[in-house]
Homo-oligomer: A and B are copies of this chain.
């Protein structure tokens, strides 16, 4: 018998602390596999955020830095400038990246730091128990929008990929999801594209992944994926917003 699927060694053996069905686990695997396939794992440095993935460093067998809430792109800048031959990526949630870390992500992107940002957009603050994120859908009830997000006073979901794409420097900006296997394959491709560009020192790459948070959405994982498809994707359309080196066509 030949193994057709097993765990990559870039993932550690530690069981994750994520809730049952949480997409974080899948995305971790796709990153790990990409680093392995590109043969860069031994010189990769991850930057974990504050958020559910704060312990990401426990799940990857690579060097890791645990950054302050929202500051991963600044931390990654410091690391990459110091170790330009490393493959440096941040892994950030929507509270981390789109709220407190707004300035850091925009300016790292604008400087064209040669890093990769994996952005987990699950429309909620998972770690802290379900508060409203900048990407929370209008009408959605959360701990801090108990009557539903009101666009008039709390604003509408922020589309970060679209914002990043207005900047000149970023090389690759794309939005994907892992709501089914077909999309998971595309996500893997996107992550690999991003790391390939970095390996080739071609600049800043940004992969937004629309994800579920079954726990704080109050849904079973399988229902959550359905809900994501029906409600999140219309607001966060999948697609590539910038690809200055045409890597998707290559």
Contacts and interface: CB of A to CB of B under 8 A. Distances in A.
A162 B166 contact: yes
Given A111-B154, A156-B110, A166 B163 contact: yes
A52 to B, nearest CB: 21
Interface in A96-138: 99-103, 106-107, 110-112, 134
A153 B113 CA distance: 7
Contacts of A99: 103, 107
Contacts of A106: 102, 106, 158, 163
A151 interface: yes
B100 A155 contact: no
Q: Taking chain A's interface residues, is the majority helix, strand, or loop, or is none over half, making it mixed?
A: helix
A85 interface: no
A110 B158 contact: yes
A223 interface: no
A22 interface: no
Contacts of A181: none
Q: Could you say how many copies of this chain the assembly holds?
A: 2
B167 A156 contact: yes
A45 to B, nearest CB: 20
A37 to B, nearest CB: 28
A158 B99 CA distance: 19
Interface in A156-204: 156, 158-159, 162-163, 166-169
With a 10 A CB-CB cut-off, give which of A102, A111, A153, A155 has the most chain B CB atoms.
A155
Nearest to A81: B153
A110 B167 CA distance: 18
Interface string A138-158: 000000000000011111101
A162 to B, nearest CB: 5
A130 to B, nearest CB: 20
A112 B156 CA distance: 9
Given A159-B166, A166-B163, A152 B103 contact: no
Interface of A: 99-103, 106-107, 110-112, 134, 151-156, 158-159, 162-163, 166-169
Given A102-B107, A159-B166, A163-B163, 20 more contacts: A101-B103, A102-B103, A102-B106, A103-B103, A106-B106, A107-B134, A107-B155, A110-B134, A110-B155, A110-B156, A111-B153, A112-B152, A112-B155, A151-B169, A155-B168, A156-B167, A158-B167, A162-B166, A163-B166, A166-B166
